């Protein structure tokens, strides 16, 4: 059997992927009504866990009055870790929250608007300078809290791109990000919706064992087409 070959997607193909997902699932309304505090804390807590566990931790923070970065800054690390225990990796996440709160307090006088108002590349660099904050979390914050167009890449996005048969020039986060950024207009609403749709699709359909039958991407997906040919 001939090995399936990957191709570099065109601008139209990257747009078509979005259009198909949006037609199938509609608007995802990610973090629509929450303020930047919820979004930033949620973005840090959601790494390596599901959103239900994050919600429990957010509720505990809210209930105990640790509901601002000033309050986080003034809470002992072990106490903070206990409050967010339900989100997993709670010692590391407490350290990250403390790192964010310290940056805000020490360099921006506690003014979140000042930090989030930095130019996109500068903001992203400042976030990446915080202990434990990686590119995905930084882009989540840039996109969903500051409203600037930084495209978020996660394992779900990588999985879909790889299965579609799209060629990526490397395996780094930035290689996958470039594939989208170089082909789309820098539009915050578009990047917001696109990321949410990819995550929804990977969670519900393009799962570790993909449900290709009836998938809205079947006609444009190398893996799906190959699977279909083999079984028909
Ligand atoms: S056709 Fe299959 S492999 Fe391709 S995107 Fe859909 S579920 Fe994933």
- Residue 48 and residue 96 in contact, taking contact as beta carbons nearer than 8 Å: no
Q: Is residue 24 part of a domain?
A: yes
Is 3 within a domain? no
Question: Same structural domain for residues 103 and 176?
Answer: no
Q: Which of 120, 145, 170 is the last residue of a domain?
A: 145
Q: Which of 83, 117, 145 is the last residue of a domain?
A: 145
For residues 51 and 125, membership in a common domain is answered with yes
Q: How far is the CA of 166 from the centre of ligand 1 (A)?
A: 13
Is the pTM above the cut of 0.75? yes
- Residue range of the domain that includes 220: 11-29+152-231
Judgement on whether residues 81 and 126 belong to the same structural domain of the protein: yes
C-alpha 168 to ligand 1 mean position (Å):
18
Residues having CB within 6 Å of any atom of ligand 1 = 160, 163, 205-206, 210-212, 215, 217-218, 221, 223-224
d(CA 18, CA 22): 6
Residue 231, number of CB atoms within 10 A of its CB: 8
The secondary element (H helix, E strand) that includes residue 11 is: helix 11-25
| Cα 134 to ligand 1 centroid, rounded to whole Å | 28
The string of pLDDT tens digits covering residues 66-111 is: 999 999 999 999 999 999 999 999 999 999 999 999 999 999 999 9
Atom of ligand 1 nearest to the CA of 225: 1
Task: Measure the CA–CA gap between 26 and 214, rounded to whole angstroms.
Answer: 17
Confirm whether 176 is domain-assigned: yes
CA distances from 7 to 4, 86, 130, 220 (A): 10, 42, 37, 12
- Statement to judge: residues 104 and 168 lie in one domain: no
Longest dimension (CA), the chain: 64
Nearest atom, ligand 1, residue 215 CA:
6
Is residue 2 domain-resident? Answer: no
Q: Which atom of ligand 1 is nearest to the CA of 205?
A: 7
Q: Is there a single domain that holds both residue 160 and residue 210? A: yes
Residue 166: strand pairing partners: 7
- Please compute the mean of the pLDDT values over residues 199-219 and round it to a whole number: 97
Q: Read off the CATH number of the domain in which 76 is found.
A: 1.10.340.30
Residue 1 in this model has a pLDDT that exceeds 50:
no
Q: Nearest 5°: CA angle at 155, between 123 and 36? A: 35
What domain count does the chain have?
Answer: 2
Q: pLDDT tens digit string along 30-58?
A: 865 578 999 999 999 998 888 899 999 99
Distance CA 169, CA 176 (A): 8
Query: Which of 84, 110, 145 is a domain's end point?
Result: 145
Q: Which two tokens stand for residue 59?
A: 């509720």
Q: Are residues 23 and 42 in the same domain?
A: no
Q: Which atom of ligand 1 is nearest to the CA of 160?
A: 5
Among 216, 224, 225, say which to mutate for ligand 1: greatest number of ligand atoms within 8 Å of CB.
224
């Amino acid at each position: 059997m001939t090995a399936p070959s990957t191709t570099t997607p065109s601008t139209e193909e990257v747009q078509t992927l979005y259009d198909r997902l949006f037609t199938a699932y509609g608007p995802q309304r990610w973090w629509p009504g929450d303020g930047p505090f919820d979004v930033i804390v949620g973005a840090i807590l959601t790494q390596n866990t599901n959103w239900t566990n994050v919600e429990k931790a957010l509720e505990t923070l809210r209930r105990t009055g640790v509901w601002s970065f000033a309050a986080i800054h003034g809470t002992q690390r072990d106490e903070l870790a206990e409050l967010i225990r339900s989100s997993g990796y709670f010692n590391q996440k407490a350290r990250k929250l403390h790192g964010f709160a310290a940056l805000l307090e020490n360099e921006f006088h506690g003014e979140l608007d000042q930090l989030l108002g930095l130019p996109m590349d500068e903001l992203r660099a400042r976030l990446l300078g915080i202990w434990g904050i990686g590119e995905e979390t930084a882009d989540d914050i840039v996109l969903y809290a500051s409203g600037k167009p930084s495209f978020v890449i996660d394992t779900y996005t990588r999985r879909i791109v790889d299965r579609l048969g799209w060629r990526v020039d490397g395996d780094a986060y930035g290689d996958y990000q470039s594939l989208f950024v170089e082909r789309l207009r820098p539009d915050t609403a578009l990047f917001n919706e696109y990321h949410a749709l990819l995550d929804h699709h990977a969670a519900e359909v393009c799962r570790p064992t993909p449900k290709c039958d009836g998938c809205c991407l079947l006609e444009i997906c190398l893996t799906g087409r190959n699977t279909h040919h083999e079984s028909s």
